[in-house]
A and B are shown apart, each in its own frame.
Chain A
Amino acid sequence: MDNNYPKILLVEDEKGLRIGTERLLTRKGHSVKSAENGTDGIKLGLAEDFDIALIDYKMPDVDGLQVLKEIKSKKPSTVCFIVTAYASYETAIEATRLGAFNYILKPFTPEELLHQIEKGFKQRKLLLEAEQLRIEREKNLLEIAHEKSRLNTIIESISSGVLLINREGKVVYFNKACLNKLHLEKLEIEDYILDKLPIQITELVNKIFNNHTVHKSYTTEVEIIPNGELIIDATCSPVPHPDGTFAGVVVVLKNITGLKKIEQLKSQFVSMVAHEMKTPLAAVLGYLDILVDPNMNVTQEKRTEYLNRSALRLKSSLDLVNDLLDISRMEMSTKKREIENIRINEIINNSLDVLELEINKKSLTIEKKYVENLPELKIDRDEVTKIINNLISNAVKYNNVNGKITISLNIENNFIILIVEDTGIGINADDQAKLFQQFFRAKNKQTRAISGTGLGLSIAKKLIEANHGKISVESVYKQGTKFIVHFPFK
């Protein structure tokens, strides 16, 4: 809108008057568009945004009041004048009722018209301003409404329970997650809640009520369903009024059952490790106590035996520590897997070289059954080495003197199948099921003198699965054991 010169619509069927008026207004600097009948007047009035419309009352097609009505209904801020020679009280009332700002009597002088237009233009400015304010206000309201429903949606959809309690201990607000966190069937606004909450939470809420502090939050853990079925973490924080005074308490409830389970597993693992470490150390300490005790009559032969046993037990502790470090490396993923093309038979040969001494000590026979044209594996060298060392050293450790180890490599679909078979002590069916668990060792007369950490196979399994393979065991007690590994090569 031009602030000084209004844009005017002139609807007038009388040609002379129309042209005269148009000329007068244009000369004054106003911009004018004319329509020579009511129909065009409506069309033009709706198509464009006019500041002012001068509408002739009497026109042959559509009368001025109809034009006024149409324009006002779509363009309420266009200031309309009815121009008429038939001024009557009724016309005036009707025109005003339909939204006309004023009416101008024919014939009019240029001054009269310009004066009316000036007044109308002021009105137009006021109307536009009011319109602007209204739009802004509506926008604000809309935003507030949006904001509120958005907040509601957010609070409803978060997985934590949110519970707002006022100073009387009544529920002011809660989201659905509250119900399952507290294991409650239902909850109503205005319910007195303090006797429904677990005592640990009520205590914290009361603490805040009594202190009237507005900054300090308190947190507690509560077992909602026994046996660790549902454990929550509840944080109670004071809620202030806008003026800073104490209004109530908000309780945020989080399900920490999973975390607690992990924590429990972790501490179980730690105590297992502690126990496994303690046993060999206690054995070594026992021998040392005997060896240094002057009151003990120990033969030289026995002394040597005790020292050898001590060394063996210490070695098993060292193996345990190494296995634990492997596990921690795997679990923390501190070492990046470096995939390269590996010829698995080379890894097997290396492993046999390392174990040569033990193999000879037990006079074991090694048989290799490899199919021809074995593809290369895409795998981390350290990992595959660890897997194969583990399986072959087990086949040596748990074998009988003069026994045999058969290592075969086959291809089936997209897998290289490695089978390490021994003729050793075997594993009974019960123990086979637990074989890959951490710290499991089959305990019987045969395994007693063999040192082991109970971690090797669990590590091997993890490594094989990390490389998208699988491991299984077949064994006949006192006859031998067969480990079957599928390595994908594609």
Chain B
Amino acid sequence: MQLNNKVKKILLVDDDIDLLEQNKLLLESKGIEVFTAESAEEGLEKFKEVKPDAAIIDLIMEQHDSGFVLCHKLKKTDIGKQIPIYILTSATYETGFKFSATTMEEQKWIKCDGIINKPVILDELLSKLNKFYE
């Protein structure tokens, strides 16, 4: 699948340096410019600096809700309101966590534009991005 020409820069925030590297590689193979951050704090700085066309944020970083908190902050910015922000997670009720972001209600509460389950399936991600920028 090819990506529309509106998504040129993506910000990835993940504290697992291996997954970060792999997802970066996947997206770069589609010609996207990828910026990475290894913590929520760094993610916020990079976001302001890079002004990406989309952001993918890991849920559990320093804290169990680091991803949510960052997402909230980004959605308060002008750019954040215009671009898709996805939460990356493998945490669900099934894996024993008290919170899962699988229902619409939960996603609304998080204010994100969607949940991406690990591992990232590139085609699914691309179709999500295409749909957002239709």
Contacts and interface: CB of A to CB of B under 8 A. Distances in A.
A295 B29 contact: yes
Nearest to B119: A282
A149 interface: no
Interface stretch (B2-10, B18-26, B74-82): B18-26
B96 A443 contact: no
A448 to B, nearest CB: 6
Given A445-B39, A449-B17, A275 B22 contact: no
Given A283-B19, A448-B15, A448-B17, A443 B95 contact: no
A275 B94 CA distance: 10
Interface in B16-74: 16-19, 21-22, 25-26, 29, 38-39, 61-63
Interface string A255-294: 0000000000001101110110011001101110110000
A444 B63 CA distance: 9
A268 B18 contact: no
Contacts of A371: none
B119 A267 contact: no
A75 interface: no
Contact of B22 (A271, A287, A444): A287
Contacts of B95: 271, 274-275
B107 interface: no
B93 to A, nearest CB: 10
A306 B91 CA distance: 25
Interface string A288-307: 01100001101000000010
A275 B61 CA distance: 14
B18 A283 contact: yes
Given A313-B18, A448-B17, A286 B38 contact: no
Contacts of B22: 283, 286-287, 289-290
Contacts of A212: none
A309 interface: yes
Nearest to B42: A445
A271 B22 CA distance: 25
Contacts of A443: 15, 61-63
A445 to B, nearest CB: 6
Contacts of A444: 39, 62
Contact of B96 (A272, A285, A290, A445): A272
Contact of B38 (A270, A289, A298, A445): A445
Contacts of B16: 279, 283, 448
Interface string A44-84: 00000000000000000000000000000000000000000
A309 B21 CA distance: 11
SS class of chain A's interface: helix, strand, loop or mixed? helix
Interface string A301-321: 000001001000100000000
A274, A286, A298, A445: most-surrounded residue (chain B CB, <10 A) = A286
A306 B21 CA distance: 9
A31 to B, nearest CB: 92
A275 B64 CA distance: 13
Contacts of A449: 17
B18 A287 contact: yes
Nearest to B29: A296
A447 to B, nearest CB: 9
Contact of B25 (A272, A278, A296): A296
A275 B29 contact: no
B123 to A, nearest CB: 13
Contact of A282 (B61, B62, B118): B118
B16 to A, nearest CB: 7
Interface in A153-202: none
B90 A275 contact: yes
Contact of A268 (B21, B62, B96): B96
Interface of B: 15-19, 21-22, 25-26, 29, 38-39, 61-63, 90-91, 94-97, 118-119
5 contacts: A268-B96, A443-B61, A444-B39, A444-B62, A449-B17
Interface of A: 267-268, 270-272, 274-275, 278-279, 282-283, 285-287, 289-290, 295-296, 298, 306, 309, 313, 443-445, 448-449
Given A443-B62, A448-B16, 14 more contacts: A274-B95, A275-B96, A278-B90, A282-B119, A283-B18, A283-B19, A286-B119, A295-B29, A296-B29, A313-B18, A443-B15, A443-B63, A444-B62, A445-B38
